[in-house]
Structure 1
């Protein structure tokens, strides 16, 4: 079964994310558990969590169809100990919020080697941060998202993500999310059958598909290897539509949330319908 959806808003309550996804016939959805541009938020109440869980259950959304995302402010690889601690505390809070909602994964961007600090040290700090958090929140798995490699961000190559896992003591509890725009911007070609197969062979060899716990399906506004993170609507960027048909015909991408983060939310319904048309298993 393929689970296709979009990043849904929690405006009006956490349950609204599920209701909005259901309205567009999505079989998956992503959400932030708080304002992604702020460090802190009010705790999730028992009533809020209960309503979210009941709504998801009534609409048929299991936790394997939902991919929460953390705040964009967090940088677990920050070399400044004070700033890293702030990120660490915010990330742990996000993990607790996910657990409160009855979910078990948290998608996040690995981090950035601030002021061109050493990248290997950054990767080690991210792994150390994950170990600290995982020891305090045992019910949620962090999901490392591939990046475009913009600026000093790390995690744009499969090898860098593998290094984070290598440095992490609790690597068995860490998953990976592939963002199609990001890997394309990072230099991984996915536009035709041969290129797609080659890229996924690299992923399999370096990281393994057992680690894949979610995907973000986005076209790219800029060409291959731009290292610029600019999403485009499906079929309106440099990736093109073929890549998404490859994904929806490949069982390696089934049973995980396939999430649209395309820029025009008015097109979500059409994009979901398009993705579903590629596979009888949706």
Structure 2
């Protein structure tokens, strides 16, 4: 069975993410290392990072991904957003190095009308530049699949393949598959035939070895809607079947999978959604 977990809050300190993950019985985690809706942040103190690194094995050493800021646009070029994106991403990679995090999940961004091909080139170049500037040697950058809305890059598996191919550091890149996003982008998951066809496309286009992480979310939008709207497992347009396929797919048995579903008024829904997923294992 895959390593299941949730995106946990680090309110009150990074170490609280580990504590919350243990309370939920998580075997994988995703966190924000800083406020995801701000450009600038005070530097991460070494004492804070050391406390986190020392606590990590005490909480089962789950694979952890940081999620990049929502403000980033990796496909931007020659403007203020591009400059702020580079500074923020470089800082994020430095934080990941300090915290010894194995993964950083990033939204590819919007090409802004320049076209997918140009956007792909910019994304590859900007990630490479940020990796070089940060000196990060421990973190794999994961390109997240998107719903394909508007001018965003990542709605087709081929977009992520091409970013990796254009990179000067392809060995530092992988993929995070979001179930809601790929369904909204038009990839069928609800039937065994549709699921297998989608996994085959993923394998043929990117290779399954590049799939290092999953976001498990049901979808409020219908197939091909391009709408990025998450909901609880089994309560949306996807239903339970796709998650049953994933829980029993030996090709992904070692891949970390985290929930990004609403956590409920009192945070109770993370436990409910995890229990639902575990119940699907045959």
Q: Which of the five TM-score ranges fits, normalised by the shorter chain? A: over 0.9
Please state whether the residue corresponding to 1:177 is helix, strand or coil: strand
CA RMSD of aligned residues (A): 1.4
Aligned partner of 1:20 in structure 2 is 20
**Residue of structure 2 in register with 1:49 after alignment:** 49
4+ runs of 1 displaced by more than 3 Å? 79-82
SS of the residue corresponding to residue 187 of structure 2 reads coil
Task: Tell me, yes or no, if the aligned pair for 1:29 and 1:67 is still in contact at 8 Å.
Answer: yes
Which of the residues 120, 124, 129 maps onto 2:121?
A: 124
Q: CA deviation at 1:81?
A: 3.7
CA positional deviation for 1:52: 1.5
| Superimposed CA distance per residue, residues 162-215 of structure 1 (whole angstroms, 9 cap, x where no aligned partner) | 111111111121010000000000000000111000000000000001101100
Separation of aligned partners in 1, 2:55 and 2:273: 24
Matched residue, 2:242: 243
Residue 277 of structure 1 and its aligned partner are, at CA, apart by 2.5
The DSSP-based 3-state class of the residue aligned with 2:122 is: helix
Are 2:179 and 2:217, in contact at CA under 8 Å, matched by a contact in 1? yes
- Counterparts of 1:57-76 in structure 2, within 5 Å, are 57-62=57-62, 65-76=63-74
Unaligned ranges ≥5, structure 1 = none
Distance in 2, Cα, partners of 1:24 & 1:76: 33
SS of match in other structure, 1:135: helix
Cα drift, residue 103 of structure 1 = 1.1
**1:212-268 deviations in Å (ceiling 9; x for gaps):** 110000000010000010001111110011111111111222222201001234211
What secondary structure sits across from 1:269 in the alignment? helix
Deviation of 1:140 (Å): 1.8
Q: For residues 242 and 61 of structure 2, what CA distance do their matches in structure 1 show?
A: 26
Corresponding residue for 1:189?
A: 188
Deviates more, 1:41-50 or 1:102-111: 41-50
1:104 aligns with 2:102: yes
Unaligned runs of 5+ in 2: none
CA distance in 2, matches of 1:117, 1:36: 26
- Post-superposition CA distance 1:79-134 (Å, at most 9, x none): 334421221121111001011111121100001012x2222111100011122122
Report the equivalent of 2:198: 199
Counterpart for residue 29 of structure 1: 29
- What TM-score comes out, normalization by structure 1 length? 0.94
Contact 1:67 1:257 in 2 (8 A): no
Provide the rounded CA distance (Å) in 2 between the counterparts of 1:202 and 1:210: 13
Q: Distance in 2 between the 1:56 and 1:250 partners?
A: 28
Are the aligned partners of 1:126 and 1:164 in contact in 2 as well (CA < 8 Å)? Answer: yes
SS in 2 for 1:100: helix
Aligned twin of 1:273: 275
Structure 2 residue aligned with 1:80, among 78, 81, 95? 78
- Distance (Å, rounded) in 1 between the aligned partners of 2:81 and 2:219: 32
The Cα shift of 1:157 comes to 0.2
1:10 counterpart residue number: 10
